[in-house]
Amino acid sequence: MSVITVGLLLILSSHSERPYSVQGLFLANDILSSFASTRISELNSPYIEQLCKEGVIKRTDNSILEQAGEFYTFDMRDTAGYLIGNASEGMVPQQYGFMVIINSTAIYNRSITYSSERLLVVSKGIISGVVNSSVMWGPLTAEVRVWQ
């Protein structure tokens, strides 16, 4: 009887960890999807409005991810990180760390300490954009890493 109880406890305790991996997977995919589909013009942020007024952001129909990619392409990586941080405010629960990487370069890291024992979920995509009617940039790889 004790063998059955111990076995049942092992099964239940290992199963209780699975929702975290599923939730992390959905979270990584949702963050990437949100950044890829939300337009700069849809954001309500004084920081982003200021970038638009100063002419730093010229195309408000760019998605957040496209704009971060454009900043990356034109060596404005700090601005790309601030954009991602500002746009993601309130989006990701505090118990999760997450990082946005463009072409193997970490652009933004809202980190709780990461260690190899923690669950890491990665979602990847490809971004490119237009500077004007004759100049394009990209393609670049975009990656969102989420851990708990």
Residue 3 in domain: no
Residue 127 in domain: yes
Better-predicted residue by pLDDT, 86 or 147: 86
pLDDT for the residue numbered 127: 95
Distances in Å between the Cα of 9 and the Cα atoms of 12, 13, 22, 114, 143 are 5, 6, 21, 28, 37
Residue 11 in domain: no
Asked if pLDDT for residue 12 goes beyond 60, the answer is: no
pLDDT for the residue numbered 35: 96
Residue 12 in domain: no
Domain count across the chain: 1
Residue-averaged pLDDT of the chain: 85
Percent of the chain whose predicted confidence (pLDDT) is above 90: 59
pLDDT digits (tens, 9 = 90+) for 52-103: 999 999 999 999 999 999 999 999 999 999 999 999 998 888 888 899 999 9
Better-predicted residue by pLDDT, 53 or 115: 53
Residue 2 in domain: no
Residue 1 in domain: no
pLDDT confidence bin for 16, thresholds 50/70/90 = very low
The whole model's pTM is what?
0.80
Residue 80 in domain: yes
Residue 131 in domain: yes
